[in-house]
Structure 1
Amino acid sequence: MSRKQQRGEATVEHLLDAALRVYAQTGDQGLTVSAVTKASGVSLGSLYHHFGSIDGLMNALLMRWLERLLGELVTAVQGTRTAHTGIRALVGAYLAFVQEHRDAARLLHSAYADRQGMADGKQLRDAQEARLSPLAQWAQAYVDSGELAPLPMPLIESLILGPVVGVARRWLSGINDVDLDEAALILPDRIWRSVGADPK
């Protein structure tokens, strides 16, 4: 990689870091081109060169953190031996990510992210296919073995992650009536009841 490419990559990372800081302080209403260039010290021209617009920057920021979250979920299930322990690992990894990366988690669970997901859901899923495939393959293997109920994969995904996302959103909203460590202990067994195959 040339020095110019290295500088370009460093600028991209710097802008993404600055955008997350601005978002954490002001929300998406305050996330403007001028706020990001001021926080980063990067020129307006560089921001437009690398991202095209503030929306391009925001989408790149969403993709960056979604990829990290999915990567941690994949890593979590790879070390498990049963569907039940895999669900426990998924729940634990998701909620640990939310606690460790609160600002990024707020962005991932924000109205902005929801709007992008509704507008470009297929494109977002296609872009993360490399990360999503191992999770789908993990679940499908347990459907095939009879440990998970024979449900369509989108329903299994919703039944496993839906409650976790709901709890994460509640915690991130600042209501302070949910304990994520307690949730990590309680949710896996409750989720298992909804997706585990019925005993014969």
Structure 2
Amino acid sequence: MKSVKNGRDGRTRIIEGALRRFSQDGVSATTLASLREESGVSVGSFYHHFASKEHVFGVLYAEILAAYQSEFVAELLRHEQARDGIEAVVAFHMRWAGEHPERARLLVSERPPRKHEPGGAEVAEARRAFFKKVSDWWKPHMKNGLLQPVDPTMCYVLWLGPAQEMCRLWFAGAHAPSEDEIKGLGEAAWQSLRQRGER
């Protein structure tokens, strides 16, 4: 039992250490040695859980993305009205970034793992399920003439692109968004995504 507990602790320490290092230095600049030092684990313990630095990143990215998407969908489903949902998700995105800056910085600044890379299959499957849930919420509003018919990429760009750029400025220390600015981002998203003639 003790070895199992230590094994779980070791994996958790590696993931938490990786989050700190990747968030601060970026994945490419983080060495395996610095990752092990930050985590406080031995070489043997590290390789017991992960095959490489890229493996750690893939697992970490997939876990962060899944948690974010779960909260995103939960927030979206709280709102039956199209405009309320669009604006609430932008506010949620900014709030989540403020509450989880290291995790948000990773999602904003790092390229997600591709399908053939560690964590890539999990990320692809999570995105498929995520877009299905968002689409299920979106389609009735589209059919009712409230929201535009847009593909997932354009939906993301129009809905959260400006908020993501605000996050980049925020994380770089260039600008801290005000409540009015966050509200303005939500209103801009609605104006971008509503069908013409809908107010």
TM-score, with length taken from structure 1: 0.83
Q: Which residue type is aligned with residue 138 of structure 1?
A: W
Count matched residues: 196
Q: Could you say which residue in structure 1 is the equivalent of 2:99? A: 100
Residue by residue, what CA displacement relative to the aligned partner does 1:50-82 show, whole Å, maximum 9, x if unpaired?
Answer: 221001101111112111211221111111111
Q: Could you say which residue in structure 1 is the equivalent of 2:156? A: 157
Q: Any conservation in 1 of the 2:115–2:124 contact (CA below 8 Å)?
A: no
User: Closer, same or farther in 2 for the Cα pair 1:48/1:129, shift >3 Å?
Assistant: farther
User: Closer, same or farther in 2 for the Cα pair 1:170/1:48, shift >3 Å?
Assistant: same
User: Closer, same or farther in 2 for the Cα pair 1:141/1:44, shift >3 Å?
Assistant: farther
Q: Any conservation in 1 of the 2:82–2:141 contact (CA below 8 Å)?
A: yes
User: Closer, same or farther in 2 for the Cα pair 1:153/1:22, shift >3 Å?
Assistant: closer
Whole-Å separation in 2 of the counterparts to 1:54 and 1:116: 12
Q: Which residue type is aligned with residue 129 of structure 2?
A: A
Q: Tell me, what secondary structure is at the counterpart of 1:109?
A: helix
Whole-Å separation in 2 of the counterparts to 1:119 and 1:169: 28
Specify which of 185, 188, 193 is matched with residue 186 of structure 2. Answer: 188
Q: Which residue type is aligned with residue 183 of structure 2?
A: L
Q: Any conservation in 1 of the 2:13–2:40 contact (CA below 8 Å)?
A: no
User: Closer, same or farther in 2 for the Cα pair 1:134/1:10, shift >3 Å?
Assistant: farther
RMSD (Å) for aligned C-alpha atoms: 2.7
User: Closer, same or farther in 2 for the Cα pair 1:181/1:4, shift >3 Å?
Assistant: farther
Q: Which residue type is aligned with residue 102 of structure 2?
A: D
Q: What is the percent sequence identity of the aligned residues?
A: 26
Whole-Å separation in 1 of the counterparts to 2:87 and 2:39: 39
Residue by residue, what CA displacement relative to the aligned partner does 1:124-154 show, whole Å, maximum 9, x if unpaired?
Answer: 3324433343223222232233210123343
Point out the more displaced range, 154-163 or 6-15: 6-15
Q: Tell me, what secondary structure is at the counterpart of 2:111?
A: helix
Q: Could you say which residue in structure 2 is the equivalent of 1:172? A: 171
Point out the more displaced range, 20-29 or 165-174: 20-29
Q: Any conservation in 1 of the 2:66–2:126 contact (CA below 8 Å)?
A: no
Whole-Å separation in 2 of the counterparts to 1:118 and 1:162: 24
Alignment of 1:140-155 (within 5 A): 140-155=139-154
Residue by residue, what CA displacement relative to the aligned partner does 1:161-195 show, whole Å, maximum 9, x if unpaired?
Answer: 2222122122212212x515333210111111111
Specify which of 162, 178, 197 is matched with residue 195 of structure 2. Answer: 197
Whole-Å separation in 2 of the counterparts to 1:145 and 1:169: 35
Whole-Å separation in 2 of the counterparts to 1:37 and 1:82: 48
**Which structure shows the higher helix fraction?**
1
Shift of 1:8: 3.4
Q: Which residue type is aligned with residue 95 of structure 2?
A: A
Q: Could you say which residue in structure 2 is the equivalent of 1:39? A: 38
Shift of 1:99: 0.8
Q: Which residue type is aligned with residue 161 of structure 1?
A: L
Residue by residue, what CA displacement relative to the aligned partner does 1:66-116 show, whole Å, maximum 9, x if unpaired?
Answer: 112112211111111111100111101100111111122111111xx2274
Q: Could you say which residue in structure 2 is the equivalent of 1:58? A: 57
Alignment of 1:98-137 (within 5 A): 98-110=97-109, 113-114=110-111, 116=113, 123=121, 124-137=123-136
